[in-house]
Every structure is written in C-alpha cells, then in structure tokens.
Chain A
Amino acid sequence: MEQLKSLQVVENEVIEDFSMFDDWLDKYEYIIELGKSLDNYPEELKTDDRLVKGCQSRVWIDFKVEDGKIWFNADSDAIITKGIISLLIKIYSGRTPEEILSSDFSVVEKIGLKENLSPTRANGLVSMIGMIREIAAKNC
C-alpha cells in the first residue's frame, strides 16, 4: 500500500482541486463522478445503526479498524450526497482516530460545499461529519 500523505496535505489538495471550478455545474459534475467512483457497498450493511440521522436522503457509513487506522465505506441513494460522503472518505479514510479528531473539518467550507447545499442538505453534511467524528472518538 502506498504511503498515505498527511491529513493536512490531502485537505489542501482537495481545496486546490475545488478552486479550479468557477462554475457550480462543474463542481457538481465532479461530486457526481466521485459518487459514482465509491466502492460497492454491500446491501446487508444498509442497517439502521449505520444510517446517518438528519439527512433528507439516506446515507450509510460503515467502517473497519486495521492497525489502529479507520477505513470507511459508505453509500447513499442520492448521488450528490454519495459524492460528498465519498469526498469525506477520500480525506479521512486510513487515518488514526487521533488524526481524524484533530481535523476541524473546515475543508468543507473552504471548498464552498456548505453554502452550495440547501439548508436540509447542509444539515446532512453536518450529520455525516458528526458520524465520522463519533466513530473516531469511539475507537480512540
């Protein structure tokens, strides 16, 4: 497995990626592509305890811990939501719980996602981040 870049480096890379889009359409197309690129998520893992509460669409987050690092997988029935969770996974998967908890998740605002999503969606985003943090906290 390739050596993972530090969390901060990845966060900055994502911010840079997004700064290339000056049009919301391109940004959404990119997010949709990210959604389509997510690993297959097994149907049997679409359980209530993996469901993120507070999203209009359904989002499930599963994880496993290996060598002290947390690996996430997720799915959603809405593709834009799936793209967003995919982006979060790209950044936060394969990190130690301490690393995850050290992030302020401001990357989300810096790439202009929060203000670009409808209020209910913004709540969804907050809930997704909340669940990732909760998983990290439980596995410290």
Chain B
Amino acid sequence: MKPEEFRKQFPILERKVYGKNLVYFDNAATAQRPQSVLGLWNELAVNSNANIHRAVHRLADEATEAYEEARSCVREFINASSREEIVFTSGATASVNLAAYSFGEKYVHEGDEIIVSECEHHSNIIPWQLLCERKHAVLKVLPVDNDGYPDLKTLDTLCTPATKLVAVTHASNVLGILNPVRKIIRICHEKGAKVLVDGAQGIVHSKVDVRDLDCDFYVFSGHKIYAVPGTGVLYGKKELLDSMPPFMGGGEMVGTVKFSGTTFAPLPLKFEAGTQNFTGIATLKPALELAGQVFQDEELTACSEAVKSYLGEELKKTEGLRLFGNEHRSCDKFPLFSFVIDGVHHEDLALILDKMGIAVRSGQMCAEPLMDRFGVSGVLRVSLAPYNTMQEAEYFMSSLRKAIDMLR
C-alpha cells in the first residue's frame, strides 16, 4: 500500500490548519488514530459501557471481553509467554513507575545500584531516582557517544554485582536510533542485573519479541502506536512479576480483604487496581493489528524508507544544521530527526513552521540530560509515521528553508 492510500484510514489527516493542509510530523509525541480505533472506542462508549470483570450482566461481559481481547493481542504482538505477563497501565510512564516501585520494594536495598542511560526520557529516569532516594541506592549513568549510541564497553564495567536493574530505552525519542538492546541485556544478565526496556518509541518502529530479547520488563504507551491515550503496557517475566508486591491497592486486585489482612489476586490483576481505562485499552487490539500490517507491508515500508532517506540527506545538506543521532554500525535509524541550526532558535522555527501547517516539536523533548550531553538548550524534532508522504517531506524542506531565511 502507498502512504497516500494508507493515510485515508486516519480522518484527522484531512484537516487544515490556518487554511493549509496539515502536515503532521510530531508522531513521536503521539500518533494519529485510524478509523478502526476511533470506531471501536466510540462503539464501546456508546454501546458497551460497563465496568469490567465485576458484573454478570451482558454489557459487562462485552466490555470485559474487549479488554481481555486486547491483552491477548498484546501478548501475541510482543510474543510474551502468557497473558499473565501483560499488565495494563495508563501509559509507559505509569508502567515504569509501577516497575520501579514494586521491583524496588522487593529487590533494591541500601547501597545497591540502578543504571539508566544518558539518552533516557525523563519517564525512565525520575522513577529510578525516586526509588534510589527511597532506598538509599545509587543511580549510575550509562553515557552515550557523540552519535548518541550507548557505550557498551563502559556498561561492562559500570554494571557490577551490586547493580540490580538497568533501565534503557529501546529507541530514544530524540535520536531515532534503535539501541542494541539485545547486547545490553546479555551484558547485564551476565552480571546478574535485570533489564527494563522502555519501548515507547521502539515498539512503533521494530518488531518486538520479548522472549527473543530476553528483557525482564518492556513498557510502552498505546497512544504512540495508534491506540488512544491513557493506555499502556507493562510486560514482565511471570516469575518476576509474581515475586513483586503490588504497586497500588484497590478494587479488583485482591483475593480476600479482611481488616486482619488482604490477599492479592493472581497476575495480572494484582497490578491493575481500580477501574482501568477499559474503553481505551480495548483499542490496543485494532491499533496493534494495524501496526502489524504496517510491518508486513513491503510497499509501505519501502515508501517510508524513501521518505526517511530523502529527509536525512536534505537535512544534512542544510547549511549550519547539526543533526543528533547518526546512523551507527548496525543500528537502524527510523524516520525521526532532531537538530539545531546555527543562528536560529528551534522555538522560532517551530512557530513559523506551524503557520505553514506543519506540526513539529521544539524544546528539550523530556530529555534534559541528553540536551546537556550535547550542549544544547533544545532541538527541533520531526518524527514521521508511515502515513507521511514524500510530498509532505518536500513541502517540509522548502518550508524549513523559508523559515531559516526569515529568521537569520
């Protein structure tokens, strides 16, 4: 399928801003949603709204079924061993917080170490900082090189027997390169450390197989992969999840509740306290089905590659432009480009581009340590999805040149 055809499934892409065709190049922040997702979301809200797992009536059955179907779908999509390993949350951030709290309660003690990489999103830094403060543990940082690539040699020495967990992103939301997570996991496991992979970006751009990767945790958000916001996944290995205490207490996560003591529900409900965003989570099914089709569609993949190469080359040709996250050895770059331009502020560029109908991000990208690493106050980021066309990329480049001329 061609992008021009594929994009017809996304109603919002028809809209205009300031009288111009919308060019949506902020997909790493959130992806747009196809009709199949919007349709199911609406259908459940209009037709099958009932709290899940609790009641015996018809509507509750329908809602529960849609929710649990999404779980099966996620299990299959990332090739987890069982449905029990799929915990639903409100997003990647919630998933990391859950893992950091519950894993930390059980396994992290005074003097232990946690490692995060320098290119993490704040969501995969702060929960670990909080844990380390709570437990008087030590947070260590895995540096990245000038191309944004985690330094594996350093990891080998940084990771010690005191290291309980290494939290690393599958793909940085600033750099757009897929990290060698499989190698990282192998190194960490040799040292006895568990690994949490932040898949918020990675899941969108590569086929993930958690068993093959052998990661201990994998987290992602639904809204970046065509589902609705307020939906997320924490994958964890069953034995590990089983051994961890609950994060939040509340309805649905219990066995029996007595004032003398409470027992907890088996996985995954143990970690799903309270009423979940069941209408939203159900949309993970059509969303992941679509993502699966995208991976298999050779024509669409080839078109995306062509658009990516065009943008990469044109950006590199732009005078005074400094690109972050260069292709490196065997690491794949996906269509996400962050850059700064000499003498032009990223925020000014974003503002002018907006007036031209182009949605891009400017600023620190929730990755302040990485900004510090590269010595910049922020970047301009363009991030594409398979529905973005070559024509849009060309329009973007000519608009960027115009904006630079205006601002210099």
Which residues of A pack against B, CB within 8 Å?
Answer: 24-25, 28-29, 32, 56-58, 77-81, 117-118, 121
Contact = CB atoms under 8 A, between A and B. Distances in A.
Nearest to B351: A80
A65 B16 CA distance: 49
Given A28-B351, A118-B350, 5 more contacts: A24-B355, A79-B348, A79-B407, A81-B348, A121-B351
A78 B345 contact: yes
Given A24-B355, A28-B352, A28-B355, A78 B406 contact: no
B377 interface: yes
B355 A32 contact: no
Interface string B313-350: 00000000000000000000000000000001101101
Interface of B: 18, 344-345, 347-348, 350-352, 354-355, 362-363, 377, 406-407
A28 B345 contact: no
The 10 closest A-B pairs by CB, nearest first: A78-B345, A78-B347, A57-B347, A80-B348, A78-B348, A24-B355, A79-B348, A56-B347, A80-B351, A77-B345
Nearest to A27: B355
Contacts of B347: 56-57, 78, 80-81
B348 A25 contact: no
A8 B237 CA distance: 69
DSSP class of B's interface residues: helix, strand, loop or mixed? helix
Nearest to B403: A28
Nearest to A116: B355
Contacts of A57: 345, 347
B406 A29 contact: yes
Contact of B351 (A29, A58, A77, A117): A117
B354 A118 contact: yes
Contacts of A79: 344-345, 348, 407
Contacts of B354: 118
B351 A118 contact: yes
Contact of A28 (B350, B362, B377, B406): B406
A28 B351 CA distance: 10
A24 B406 contact: no
A80 B362 CA distance: 14
B407 A77 contact: no
B352 A77 contact: no
A48 to B, nearest CB: 15
14 contacts: A24-B18, A24-B355, A25-B355, A29-B406, A56-B363, A57-B347, A78-B345, A78-B347, A80-B347, A80-B351, A80-B352, A81-B348, A117-B351, A121-B351
Nearest to A25: B355
Contacts of B350: 118
Contacts of B406: 25, 28-29, 32
A110 B345 CA distance: 27
A121 B354 CA distance: 13
A122 to B, nearest CB: 12
Nearest to B362: A56
A70 B194 CA distance: 61
**Best-surrounded residue of B348, B377, B406 (most CB of chain A within 10 A):** B348
A25 to B, nearest CB: 7
Contacts of A29: 406
Nearest to B355: A24
A129 to B, nearest CB: 19
Nearest to B352: A28
B363 to A, nearest CB: 6
Contacts of B351: 28, 80, 117-118, 121
Contacts of A121: 351
A32 B407 contact: yes
A8 to B, nearest CB: 30
A118 B360 CA distance: 12
A26 to B, nearest CB: 11
Contacts of A78: 345, 347-348
Nearest to A77: B345
Contacts of A32: 406-407
A79 B407 CA distance: 7
Contacts of A118: 350-351, 354
A117 B363 CA distance: 16
Contacts of B345: 57, 77-79
A80 B350 CA distance: 11
A116 to B, nearest CB: 8
B341 to A, nearest CB: 12
**Best-surrounded residue of B347, B352, B377, B407 (most CB of chain A within 10 A):** B347
A60 B362 CA distance: 20
A77 B407 CA distance: 12
A118 B354 CA distance: 9
Contacts of A24: 18, 355
B18 A77 contact: no
Contacts of A117: 351
B404 to A, nearest CB: 12
B235 to A, nearest CB: 34
B364 to A, nearest CB: 9
A46 B382 CA distance: 31
